Structure 1
Amino acid sequence: MKASEAVIDIFKEWNIKHVYGYPGDSINHLIEALRKAKDEVKFIQVRQEEVGSLAASAEAKLTNQVGVCLSIGGPGAIHLLNGMYDAKEDGAPLVVITGQVSHDLVGTENFQEVNLERMFDDVAIFNKRVTSPELVQPLLKQAFKEAYTQKGVAVLSIPDDVFSQTVKKDKLRSNVHSNYRLFPDKEDVKQAAMLLQQAKKPVILAGKGALSARKELAEFAEKIAAPVVVSLRGKGVLPDEHPYNLGNLGQIGTKPAYEAMAETDLLILIGTAFPYREFLPDDVSAIQIDIDPSKIGKWYPTDVGLVGSSKEILARFNEQLFYTENRSFLEACQENMANWWKHLDGIVADKEGKTLQGPQVIHQLHDFVEDDAILSVDVGNVTSWSARFLRMTNQQFVISSWLATMGCGLPGAISAKLSEPEKQVWAICGDGGFSMVMQDFLTAVKYQLPITVLVLNNEKIGMIKYEQELIGNIPYQTDIEPMNYAAFADICGGKGYRASTQDELRSALAASKENQVPTIIDVEIEDRAPLPGKIDWNQAKGYSKHLWKKLVEREGDLDMPSLKTVLKRLF
């Protein structure tokens, strides 16, 4: 068999259904093999390789299986880097295959030759160049194993002439891996149990590692009377309106989450590597549960680190711990959260004749999102609004959380619909993020993927504008040229709607549910700062400085406003 056909056999063994990429000279022999296998392994031709790697990364996050993308060497491989780093930072298993100049030309500075091993050295946990056809199968098998077991990026660079050469058919079984269980030391479990029973104000911070333990987490929180704060990747671990859920933490977080963290006497980190130390307690006891021992104590000093499955460890605690009778701290947090929901309801209340704002758009979306829908959220102000105003029940939520790369919303929706064709799929994007990858709306059209892209259009890079203001600067180069994204959808062969009022938005959302083609809803919104749940003094001071500069620039030095005037405008 040809080496390219051997690659397809390994794809099949790992149950790979989609390979994202763009054809080209140094992978044409592999593309031919994919053409022949198109009924079993579907090659998804994207319009730009970055979208391919972002889509493969999102698929890995959603399915917990290995995502695959490929490109030519040189420029195509360079384009892949953004999605590769997204997978690395979010712990998504990804296998990347790139072409390369013929192996007898490597090192001669030939056309499109790039030192791929050096370029991928930082992003990959496995990074090899195939130097002979006999190495294709063993190295690709190893790449899949490393990506899957280490939850990282594995790369093979394969010269095109290697793909065309004949190899002996190898015995496969490359996807067999040991079934093992990690469970912490008995003394550590005993010490953690003691801390849990002694705590008066325990708080749980749950991340993506707790998503597989939803039932156990809810029971654990009830047993120890602990409110649950979630990281961005952990959104959905409990329904947003669950009585123990205080929402997200940090700049995109809620005031009740911030205040609970300030009062806690025991922090319980479950499946999270939350990095923003300023939002965590100053000096309290901490228990951390994680499947990866390298994460224990990495971002917060822990008294007890428990290495193992969140599901199994929480189940064991639920069997052993006594029910906490004193629930005063939990009840205070719940009352605080009830007031927070009222605060958010006031923000999204329909104001007749007013221009739509981001929170109102997300709030309207609730009535049209199905219970098992997949929501691919882009990076920017939409992240903040989705985290706070999207009241999830059983939906899946996918985002570029650690790298936070703009443009991830559309690729995530494409891969979600390919992976789960029966589920409703939404991409929630700002106009800044969407316009970075909008050419690949054509990919959704080509493969007849009835996704709905909600574009919140304020003709600004809104988050950057806010960041510039927060440090006291006057916003510069954050405006975006006007664009009719609905008309763009129609031109591409999809369906587009524009909305600038509540009624127009509801009508567009309702219509999109019936469409069998990709849809864009272009929502005109006014600018609104994504203020954190709790504003600290430094943020207020920086924003005051921005207002001062703005007023001085507009009114001139002879009519300089007083600090009192500035603060009135701020508060």
Structure 2
Amino acid sequence: MSRTVARLFTDALEELGVRHVFGVVGDALNPFTDAIRTSKNLTWVGCRHEEAAAFAAGAQSQLTDTLGVCMGTVGPGAVHLLNGLYDAAKSGTPVLAIAGQVPLSEVGTDYFQEVDNDLLFKDVAVFRATVTSPEQLPALLEVAVRTAIGRRGVAVLTVPGDIGDQKLPADRPVRLSVARSENRPDDPALDEAARLIDDGGNVTLLVGRGARTSRDDVLALADRLAAPMVVTLKAKEGFEDDNPFQVGQTGLIGNPAAAHAMDHADTLVLLGTDFPYREWYPEGKKVVQVDRVAEHIGRRVPVDVALAADVGPTVRGLLERVAAREDRKHLDAAREKFADWQDGQRRLAAPGHDKGLIGKVRSAFDNRDHLVRPEALAAAVDAAADDNAIFTSDTGMATVWLSRFVEMRGSRRLIGSYNLGSMANAMPQAIGAQLLDRDRQTVAFCGDGGLSMLLGDLMTIHTERLPIKLVVFDNQRLGMVKLEQEQAGLPEFGTVLDNPDFAAVAEALGIKGIRVERAEDLAEAVQRAFAEPGPVLLDVLTNPDEIAVPAKPTVQQGWGFAIAKVRENLHSTGS
């Protein structure tokens, strides 16, 4: 029995276990959306912007480790997918994008809305092709899916508007199985790494997302080496909870204990991480790096022993070779500093902080309007959220507060645009996450700038009846940009946002809105938001002048901040 091109696609997606296809309907996609309409297992999720659709598809892929799927129609529809697809590509997660095209007979004539999709997606896609005849299928689809899954990236298939409803010449089954395997370094390479570690003095582990499925092995290695464990943001969900070796994050969102652990190590062992910030790697250390992607090794810091393999079997091989350490001073010093830093953070986030003597003095300088401190908001959400909640976070200050005050305990999950660093990702990623399990709590840490950029897809949340909790850090600013400007000695400029009452906007769209303007109302508002059975937008006016002190603040940053504040005050006085 023959099938149309569109029906072949939907049957193949069902076979893969895909449940949702995200996009915006349009003429070239009509055969596909009609096939989805009559599908038993696929659901079309109509978004208000294709960028949100791509973010949602990427979120599902990251959370399930399977293929995410999105669609965009001819020209602008396909173009709008790009940012969300770049996020998937930079996150190393497989996504299939179906892009519409003008009728085949019009391709190359500068037809209305025509865009060269194969050129457009050249940089972002590990595979891209245009379907020009039904005879190319199902082979072309099989190659696209296997490439996306095998290379953990984006595949784009462009389908002209007059191809989707054409019949296939034969009903050949689609074969999409992809067998995965773990790679282990050979024995001489493991022997070399073990010798370097044994002779390398104090050891610190820098652990990333690539090690997440090997938690027990990595903890055993930390114990054997008496090594503090610096955890990247993307590895929080695998290594933060019940871990006697971890000392939090390094970098701009990090803490002094993690910086101490890195600086006082003689040898760094990098496990499944491509942490990008070169300035946060200390100089003069011996380095062993383990990464399944060979081209990731050595591009951030010079590496003495490179092990291009999966973390789990590599660490198990090292455990058979490295000697146990009895001296635990390096680990104990880092952990003590981490505990002290955590105590200070808890005091800062306490509801009554600004009522104490230190808090009153501090508020006179940085919170004269007595707005809610973002630390207190993040800590309150951490306390209220389920131990299996899924968190998403917008790039910027919302991620800073989440990294410091939300603990990935239990089976909590965390995703964000942590490689691309896009704005506006948290809300659409929460859409994808919540659709996977409507009964599992999903919490989006939204910046006011990020939320307003894709504000229209609040309507998708309402339409799909998704019980997402949207927590808006409403500081009327592009907060991270403000901080960057001030640390460089520049007065704040162009960062002020003329925000609406987001809670009122949510109410107008059929979503429960709660607005918090005073610190004393915060605790009750958070509890009320999380008690609501449906979607909630919690709009909290937070202090725009809150300073997230980096792990190793420099004198130059301090002077820059002071100079910026003087310039800002002079400007406000003279205006």
| Category of TM-score, reference length = shorter chain | over 0.9
- The alignment covers a number of residue pairs equal to 555
Partner amino acid for 2:8? A
CA distance in 2, matches of 1:13, 1:524: 47
Say if 2:390 is the partner of 1:371: no
CA distance in 2, matches of 1:172, 1:258: 55
- Percent identical: 33
- Higher mean alpha-carbon deviation, 308-317 vs 266-275, is at 308-317
Partner amino acid for 1:549? R
Aligned in 2, Cα 1:437/1:507: closer, same or farther, shift over 3 Å?
same
What is the CA-CA distance between 1:551 and the residue it aligns to?
4.4
- Higher mean alpha-carbon deviation, 105-114 vs 525-534, is at 525-534
CA distance in 2, matches of 1:126, 1:346: 51
CA distance in 2, matches of 1:79, 1:185: 45
Partner amino acid for 2:53? G
CA distance in 1, matches of 2:572, 2:510: 46
Q: Which residue of 1 aligns with 2:474?
A: 457
Give 5+ residue unaligned stretches, structure 1: 557-571
Aligned in 2, Cα 1:193/1:276: closer, same or farther, shift over 3 Å?
same
What SS does the aligned partner of 1:234 have?
helix
Deviation digits for residues 242-263 of structure 1 (CA, Å, limit 9, x no counterpart) = 3211111101111111122111
What is the CA-CA distance between 1:370 and the residue it aligns to?
1.2
Say if 2:62 is the partner of 1:64: no
What is the CA-CA distance between 1:308 and the residue it aligns to?
2.0
CA distance in 1, matches of 2:274, 2:561: 30
Deviation digits for residues 406-456 of structure 1 (CA, Å, limit 9, x no counterpart) = 101001111111113231110011111111112111111111111100001
Q: Which residue of 2 aligns with 1:73?
A: 74
Q: Which residue of 2 aligns with 1:22?
A: 24
Partner amino acid for 1:463? M
CA distance in 2, matches of 1:478, 1:297: 36
Q: Which residue of 2 aligns with 1:565?
A: none
CA distance in 1, matches of 2:15, 2:75: 29
- Higher mean alpha-carbon deviation, 499-508 vs 325-334, is at 499-508
Say if 2:204 is the partner of 1:203: yes
Partner amino acid for 2:562? S
2:565 pairs with 547, 551, 556, which one? 547
Contact 1:427–1:454 at 8 Å: present in 2 too?
yes
2:9 pairs with 4, 7, 10, which one? 7
CA distance in 2, matches of 1:385, 1:411: 20
What is the CA-CA distance between 1:135 and the residue it aligns to?
1.6
1:430 pairs with 447, 452, 475, which one? 447
CA distance in 1, matches of 2:85, 2:15: 23
What is the CA-CA distance between 1:505 and the residue it aligns to?
2.4
Alignment of 1:12-411 (within 5 A): 12-37=14-39, 39-172=40-173, 174-239=175-240, 242-351=243-352, 354-394=370-410, 395-411=412-428
Deviation digits for residues 204-232 of structure 1 (CA, Å, limit 9, x no counterpart) = 11111011112222221111111111222
1:504 pairs with 521, 541, 545, which one? 521
Say if 2:496 is the partner of 1:479: yes
CA distance in 1, matches of 2:530, 2:571: 48
What is the CA-CA distance between 1:103 and the residue it aligns to?
0.7
What is the CA-CA distance between 1:173 and the residue it aligns to?
5.1
Deviation digits for residues 17-60 of structure 1 (CA, Å, limit 9, x no counterpart) = 111000001111111111111x3111110011000001111111
Aligned in 2, Cα 1:422/1:168: closer, same or farther, shift over 3 Å?
farther
CA distance in 2, matches of 1:189, 1:366: 41
Partner amino acid for 1:331? D
Say if 2:551 is the partner of 1:533: yes
CA distance in 1, matches of 2:206, 2:125: 29
Say if 2:506 is the partner of 1:489: yes
- Higher mean alpha-carbon deviation, 248-257 vs 544-553, is at 544-553
Contact 1:7–1:136 at 8 Å: present in 2 too?
no
CA distance in 2, matches of 1:34, 1:392: 36
What is the CA-CA distance between 1:66 and the residue it aligns to?
1.0
Q: State the TM-score, normalized to the length of structure 2.
A: 0.93
Partner amino acid for 1:10? A
Q: How large is the RMSD of aligned CA atoms in angstroms?
A: 1.6
What SS does the aligned partner of 1:288 have?
strand
Contact 2:351–2:520 at 8 Å: present in 1 too?
no
CA distance in 1, matches of 2:244, 2:376: 23
Contact 1:121–1:127 at 8 Å: present in 2 too?
yes
What is the CA-CA distance between 1:197 and the residue it aligns to?
2.2
CA distance in 1, matches of 2:181, 2:260: 40
Deviation digits for residues 239-291 of structure 1 (CA, Å, limit 9, x no counterpart) = 25632111111011111111221111111111111111110011211111111
CA distance in 2, matches of 1:269, 1:2: 49
Partner amino acid for 1:390? V
CA distance in 1, matches of 2:77, 2:309: 39
What is the CA-CA distance between 1:5 and the residue it aligns to?
0.5
What SS does the aligned partner of 1:19 have?
strand
Contact 1:498–1:504 at 8 Å: present in 2 too?
no
Aligned in 2, Cα 1:118/1:179: closer, same or farther, shift over 3 Å?
closer
Q: State the TM-score, normalized to the length of structure 1.
A: 0.94
Contact 1:380–1:433 at 8 Å: present in 2 too?
no
Partner amino acid for 1:42? T
What is the CA-CA distance between 1:530 and the residue it aligns to?
2.4
Regions of 4+ moved over 4 Å: none
